[in-house]
Structure 1
Amino acid sequence: MNDLIDRRGLLRGASLLSGGLMLNAALPAWAQSGTGGLKPDMPTLSGEDIALKIGHSAFTVGGRTGHAITVNGTLPAPLIRLREGQNVRLAVTNTLDEDTSIHWHGLILPFQMDGVPGVSFPGIRPRETFTYEFPIKQSGTYWYHSHSGLQEQMGHYGPIIIDPAGADPVAYDREHVIVLSDWSFLHPHEIFRKLKAQGGYFNRQQQTLIDNAPMSAADRATWGRMRMDPTDISDVTGTTYTYLINGHGPGENWTGLFRPGERVRLRFINASAMTIFNVRIPGLPMTVVGSDGQYVRPVTVDEFQITVAETFDVIVAPTEDRAFTLVAESVDRSGMARGTLAPRAGMSAEVPPLRPRPTLTMKDMGMGGMDHSGMDHGDGAAMDHGSMKMRDKSKAPPGMTVGVGVESIASMPVDRTGDPGLGLEDVGHKVLTYRDLISLTPNPDTRAPTRTVELHLTGTMERFMWSFDGEKYSEGTEPIRFERNERVRVRLVNDSMMAHPIHLHGHFFEVVNGHTGNHPVKHTVNVLPGGIVDFDLTADAPGDWAFHCHLLLHMHAGMFRVVSVRPLEGEAA
């Protein structure tokens, strides 16, 4: 099972890390045509004992070859397929010259097995093996990745599928696992260095005086006075990223096969380091049936936004004997991942052009849901945004550190769970929102929260500094403490002008979206600029858990905290 040929078939002349065999010149069928069987035809590991080896590989896309960090020599890493109710032992061997780790994203397990160096275990030293062992308590679509340095950006990620112990409530005839990711030939530390030197380094879509974007000269001047760029949507863009589907670039046409009339389950995983994607299949509606591995009531949409670290399961039912293009457009529309669903290999459909890039609005600045066109409140009084005190401490909550790392405090943040995402407000078709998500089964804990913990997502593009409540993790922040089994409402307030996917390890939480009793259950939630997201948490997993923005470079820059749930097993309350 471990003698796996490279996912991309492109370690030319290199030995396979798992078996020491020389690479066969012939590409395996799944590397040529994507997946076509009833189950994904990608390298798959299963059973109670699984061996993983982390090492260096060459990776080629778009005719160029770069250096990757891979698991068992593949990018993405092998699919790990498990069953609810089993136990699993995963022996992870580190062949790198630096420490490494694996975090099992979204899995409920003992905190010592969670895989975050310095929080839940020491990490895996070079040329050592660490064995993760835990019971499988859930089913659904998940993934795994490094939590060491910036290895995740270099290819250290892969999918996990857990089949339910009983009948699956989702009926389907065939499935495809679709791992979305971003790849750069620049080393991630070099990307980070460039962003620290100039926050907008990779933004090649800045507005000019002759820009045709729907913004008045007065509005453009206002943004200028505030030293903010309304096109600063993604820190890292298509100027350096190639966007991948299962390791394939857009020119390589990854293809998933179907027979007309089948119900096809597509398991989307956003394993990118920094890229939020907008996903659509022109001409083919998608019925969302799962979010972050948890079942939701079916909702049919034409497009959805998937933030970093989220997963969505959808059902498509193509009836025509033709190809459909799968489009995963980066949120700033600087590039796309592209694949094909087709009845036969070698087919393709028209690839739509990139849509016009969106721009931020005053709503994204935390100015509420008002219409700010014309800069008028509606009462005849014009708003002088240029004279706004963007670091006005009077707007900061007690205890927040408002220094050079806090660019702004949102004066009127609003609940944006009903928003489809930046640039998707007027696309002319149905786009998924968080308010569309309703848990298929009732939420198990019906207790009202006993308190609210409010956290502000803070940062500055200019200095590329990111934090919670104005404090970087490296500055010695105190853990966020919960009593075991405490019922808490956590309020996330985004004071910055970038979306932040916030992930809590070791727990699921209920996103408060108006469907009381059936709130969607998630492990990662996207907080839009100037937005508020509330979630209710039952702190039922004792231990120390990472809590962070899943934009890798934001976490690296300081948007990270530890959640401490006590007492532990055997401790006195």
Structure 2
Amino acid sequence: MKNYPVGRRNLLRSALFGSGALAMNSLFPAWAKTGTHGLASKDRTVLSGESLALTIARKDFQLDGRVGHAVTANGTLPAPLIRLKEGQRFRMAVTNHLNEDTSIHWHGLLVPPAMDGVPGISFPGIRPGETFVYDFPVRQSGTYWYHSHSGLQEQQGHYGPIVIDPAGADPVPYEREHVIVLSDWSFLHPHEIVGLLKKQGGFFNRGKQALTSPNRVSSQTNKSFAQMRMDPTDISDVSAAAYTFLMNGHSPDENWTGLFHAGERVRLRLINASAMSIYNFRIPGLPLTIVSVDGQNVRPVETDEFQISPAETYDMIVTPAGEQAYTIVAESIDRTGMARGTLAPRMGMSAAIPPLRERPTLKMVDMGMGGGSGHQMGGHNMGAMATKPEASMPHGSGHAGHDTPELPEKAPDAASHGGGMGHSMRDPKIAGFELNPGVDMISPMPADRTGYPGLGLENVGHRVLTYRDLEAATPNVDTRPPERQLDIHLTGNMERFMWSFDGKKLSENPDPIRFARNERVRVKLINDTMMTHPIHLHGHFFEIVNGKPPARQPKKHTLTVQPGGTASFDLTADEPGDWAFHCHLLLHMHAGMMRVVTVRPLEGEA
């Protein structure tokens, strides 16, 4: 696949397709073209101001000499960068030239429900030939993005970045900035991909273990996986067998390049706009100082690598030194491929491309068979832990002495009521809902894994960021203790590619999750599957319960829940309306892993 590091064959292919790629280069907005000097340079494709317009249409997209059909905004992939100012009014007229409905969701922006852009909730969608005007005040600053919430158009190229400058001085100093949008592209139509996964859950998993594999998991663990009809190598539903991993719309061979001057503080605004791909991001030889997550400032923390899921954004400061180039590496979580680019002082330079690292395998801890949140327990083979007494730790226990407090679980609509320990893998009592063809496992001992770096990152030999490292830059306004706890189970059947919350997909569970306006709730996400799920709540920010004091818990809009583990957030339900709540793996949401959250005033309240 063309996702692999560039070798002699790929270099020859790039040369052969070079003229064609140049001919198609108009499909890239200026900020995404290779050789960009950054966002400070004059770029007419950046949309800025109060009255803007987008046209959604189909257009051919060329990648490494092949042509596919994309859904584009103003004719580009990725879509134009929208740059706004906190406090301004934003009006965007969106015209649909497709032969199907479309929409735009302003991912992470605090907007009125009717402007959120999710068809079927509080917005009708934009029909073919029609124009819809989004109109709302800009209430925040930071790095965000926008994408279609109609069908599977997001997978086909309907996504773009948003940068919102603060009303006052930016607390993060820098001399140059680049936007880096990660995505995944396939020449297969997304409905074809869904169909193949429905026929065979591991269809795109081309790395299944042989009995003689030197890295095969222990016999006891392998037996457990066999009993569950699961494959320890089934990490990503869709791999490089179908995807080319893109950086600003460029394949690894095309090598998107961002320029810098030595010694500059360069702000990288990283957005994972992928449909299904989780990446491990690093720039070998260059420390990364994280300054913002999901558009919210955090206390600067230096690291060398971190995992980023679809829907998440991370801002970082890097200070490249000397006249050398640096390779930007976004390696897929299953390590079947990578998105790759370069930071360099001038065009024509490149650095060594690291080879793909050894492919990781799922372990007993990823089945929810005990294990803590940190490096010590989260990454080791846990094949024997289900039978060892010392494996029985408090449900939801944390890392380094931090426990996740358990709160009353009374919830008017909740089907789940938490769980104890020692239950069978398939015992429905542990979750409070009945097993069905759409649920093939329930984690018996799920533990808080917010301190886990991510699959394959346990022993890489350098610093890896976890949610436990994040701390809000300014104190949170609402630090009230939560009034209640709501447990939500992330459920599915990997073999049949069925995904749900609390054992039911959206069409089977139409009743919304209800919050009273300004209610303070702790939501505990319990991952009963062996997949990593990024869970996104529209219309709100929440604080991750990560061991920090309530005033310093980091705010996010998307929370990645590790396999077989739990993650909790504290929510102030202060945005009245109906909001989408879903897994941001697009095909999981499409399969039913979605609910509606409704926030309403209490009876008699204005």
> For residue 401 of structure 2, what is the aligned residue in structure 1?
none
Which runs of structure 2 are paired with 1:88-107 in the superposition (5 Å)? Answer: 88-107=90-109
SS at 2:521 equivalent: strand
Q: 1:438 and 2:479 equivalent?
A: no
Match among 84, 87, 93 for residue 85 of structure 1: 87
Displacement of 1:120 in angstroms is: 1.5
Q: Using a 3 Å threshold, how does the CA distance of structure 1 residues 302 and 505 change in structure 2: closer, same or farther?
A: same
Give the conservation status (yes or no) of the 8 Å contact 2:236–2:334: yes
SS at 2:552 equivalent: coil
> For residue 558 of structure 1, what is the aligned residue in structure 2?
592
Give the conservation status (yes or no) of the 8 Å contact 1:9–1:27: no
Displacement of 1:284 in angstroms is: 0.4
Give the conservation status (yes or no) of the 8 Å contact 1:40–1:175: no
Q: Which amino acid aligns with 1:153?
A: Q
Q: Using a 3 Å threshold, how does the CA distance of structure 1 residues 164 and 26 change in structure 2: closer, same or farther?
A: closer
Displacement of 1:41 in angstroms is: 6.3
Instruction: Give the Cα separation in 2 of the matches to 1:282 and 1:113.
Output: 41
Give the conservation status (yes or no) of the 8 Å contact 2:344–2:350: yes
Q: Using a 3 Å threshold, how does the CA distance of structure 1 residues 83 and 497 change in structure 2: closer, same or farther?
A: same
Q: Which amino acid aligns with 1:372?
A: M
Q: Which amino acid aligns with 2:161?
A: P
> For residue 457 of structure 1, what is the aligned residue in structure 2?
490
Instruction: Give the Cα separation in 1 of the matches to 2:275 and 2:185.
Output: 9
Q: Using a 3 Å threshold, how does the CA distance of structure 1 residues 363 and 26 change in structure 2: closer, same or farther?
A: closer
Displacement of 1:572 in angstroms is: 5.1
> For residue 200 of structure 2, what is the aligned residue in structure 1?
198
Instruction: Give the Cα separation in 2 of the matches to 1:360 and 1:306.
Output: 18
Match among 558, 565, 583 for residue 549 of structure 1: 583
Q: Using a 3 Å threshold, how does the CA distance of structure 1 residues 10 and 549 change in structure 2: closer, same or farther?
A: farther
TM-score w.r.t. length of structure 1: 0.92
Q: Using a 3 Å threshold, how does the CA distance of structure 1 residues 376 and 493 change in structure 2: closer, same or farther?
A: closer
Instruction: Give the Cα separation in 1 of the matches to 2:95 and 2:58.
Output: 13
Give the conservation status (yes or no) of the 8 Å contact 2:431–2:489: no
Instruction: Give the Cα separation in 2 of the matches to 1:34 and 1:482.
Output: 48
Q: Using a 3 Å threshold, how does the CA distance of structure 1 residues 32 and 530 change in structure 2: closer, same or farther?
A: closer
Q: Using a 3 Å threshold, how does the CA distance of structure 1 residues 366 and 95 change in structure 2: closer, same or farther?
A: same
Match among 239, 247, 253 for residue 249 of structure 2: 247
Unaligned residue ranges in structure 2 (runs of 5+): 1-17, 372-376, 392-422
Q: Using a 3 Å threshold, how does the CA distance of structure 1 residues 207 and 76 change in structure 2: closer, same or farther?
A: same
SS at 2:184 equivalent: strand
> For residue 519 of structure 1, what is the aligned residue in structure 2?
553
Instruction: Give the Cα separation in 2 of the matches to 1:24 and 1:319.
Output: 30
Q: Using a 3 Å threshold, how does the CA distance of structure 1 residues 406 and 48 change in structure 2: closer, same or farther?
A: same
Q: How well do the aligned residues superpose, as a CA RMSD in angstroms? A: 2.3
Match among 443, 466, 469 for residue 410 of structure 1: 443
SS at 2:364 equivalent: coil
Give the conservation status (yes or no) of the 8 Å contact 2:478–2:572: yes
Give the conservation status (yes or no) of the 8 Å contact 1:10–1:59: no
> For residue 528 of structure 1, what is the aligned residue in structure 2?
562
> For residue 176 of structure 1, what is the aligned residue in structure 2?
178
Displacement of 1:329 in angstroms is: 0.3
Q: Using a 3 Å threshold, how does the CA distance of structure 1 residues 543 and 375 change in structure 2: closer, same or farther?
A: closer
Which runs of structure 2 are paired with 1:326-337 in the superposition (5 Å)? Answer: 326-337=328-339
Instruction: Give the Cα separation in 1 of the matches to 2:128 and 2:604.
Output: 34
> For residue 36 of structure 2, what is the aligned residue in structure 1?
35
Give the conservation status (yes or no) of the 8 Å contact 2:545–2:569: yes
Q: 1:315 and 2:317 equivalent?
A: yes
Match among 393, 415, 419 for residue 428 of structure 2: 393
Q: Which amino acid aligns with 1:548?
A: H
> For residue 5 of structure 1, what is the aligned residue in structure 2?
none
Give the conservation status (yes or no) of the 8 Å contact 2:32–2:248: no
SS at 1:181 equivalent: strand
Deviations 1:70-99 (A, max 9, x none): 100100000000000000100000000000
Match among 137, 154, 157 for residue 155 of structure 1: 157
Q: Using a 3 Å threshold, how does the CA distance of structure 1 residues 426 and 325 change in structure 2: closer, same or farther?
A: same
Q: Using a 3 Å threshold, how does the CA distance of structure 1 residues 450 and 276 change in structure 2: closer, same or farther?
A: same
Match among 125, 132, 135 for residue 134 of structure 2: 132
Displacement of 1:28 in angstroms is: 8.7
Match among 530, 539, 544 for residue 497 of structure 1: 530
Give the conservation status (yes or no) of the 8 Å contact 1:457–1:468: yes
Q: Using a 3 Å threshold, how does the CA distance of structure 1 residues 101 and 31 change in structure 2: closer, same or farther?
A: closer
Match among 346, 349, 354 for residue 347 of structure 1: 349
Instruction: Give the Cα separation in 2 of the matches to 1:418 and 1:9.
Output: 47
Instruction: Give the Cα separation in 2 of the matches to 1:327 and 1:454.
Output: 36
Q: Determine what percentage of the aligned residue pairs are the same residue.
A: 67
Give the conservation status (yes or no) of the 8 Å contact 1:38–1:173: no
Which runs of structure 2 are paired with 1:43-82 in the superposition (5 Å)? Answer: 43-82=45-84
Give the conservation status (yes or no) of the 8 Å contact 1:401–1:469: no
Instruction: Give the Cα separation in 2 of the matches to 1:238 and 1:538.
Output: 40
Unaligned residue ranges in structure 1 (runs of 5+): 1-7, 14-22, 382-387
